[in-house]
Amino acid sequence: MRAALALLVALAACAAPEPLDGEEIRSSTEAGPVETDARVHTVQLYQTGEEASLPVLSLRDESTLTLEFDIVSPEAPGPLRVEFSRVGTADGPELLPSEYLTGFERDEIFDAEPSNTTAIPYVHYTYTFPNAGIGFRIGGIYSLRVREPGGPALFERRFFVDEGRVNTDVFIGTRLAEIGAVGRAIQPAARLRPIGDLQVEDAFRFTVCFFRDGDVDALRCAPEPSLAELAVYGFYLPRDQAFEPVAPIYRLDLGVLGLSPEVEEVDVVAVPPTALLELDYAAFGGDIVNPVSLSASGIDAGYREAGRGDDDAEYVEVTFRYVPPGERVLPGAVYVRGGFTDGRISPRGRLTWKPDDKRYEGTVLVKQGLYAYDYPAPVADPSRQPVALGQPSAYTALVFYRDLSLFADRLVGVQSAVAR
Query: 188-197, 229-238, 409-418: which has the minimum mean pLDDT?
Result: 229-238
Task: Give the pLDDT of residue 282.
Answer: 85
In this predicted model, what pLDDT tens digit does every residue of 349-383 receive, in sequence order? 999 999 999 999 999 999 999 999 999 866 544 44
How confident is residue 210, by pLDDT bands cut at 50, 70 and 90? Answer: very high
The pTM for the full model equals 0.88
The average confidence (pLDDT) of the chain is: 84
Give Cα separations from 3 to 12, 147, 167, 208, 416 (angstroms). 14, 31, 21, 10, 22
As a whole number of Å, the CA-based R_g of the chain is: 22
Q: Which residue has the higher pLDDT, 380 or 142?
A: 142
Does residue 159 carry a pLDDT above 60?
yes
Complete DSSP assignment for 71-140: EESSS--S-EEEEEEEPB-TTSPPPPHHHHBSS-SEEEE-EEEE-SS-SS-EEEEEEEES-SS--BSS-E
Task: Give the pLDDT of residue 5.
Answer: 42
Task: Give the pLDDT of residue 115.
Answer: 95
Task: Return d(Cα 82, Cα 259) in angstroms, integer.
Answer: 39
How confident is residue 9, by pLDDT bands cut at 50, 70 and 90? Answer: very low
In this predicted model, what pLDDT tens digit does every residue of 11-37 receive, in sequence order? 444 333 333 233 333 344 455 678 899
CB contact set of 357 (below 8 Å; sequence gap of 6+): none
Task: Give the pLDDT of residue 357.
Answer: 96
Task: Return d(Cα 346, Cα 365) in angstroms, integer.
Answer: 13
Does residue 337 carry a pLDDT above 60?
yes
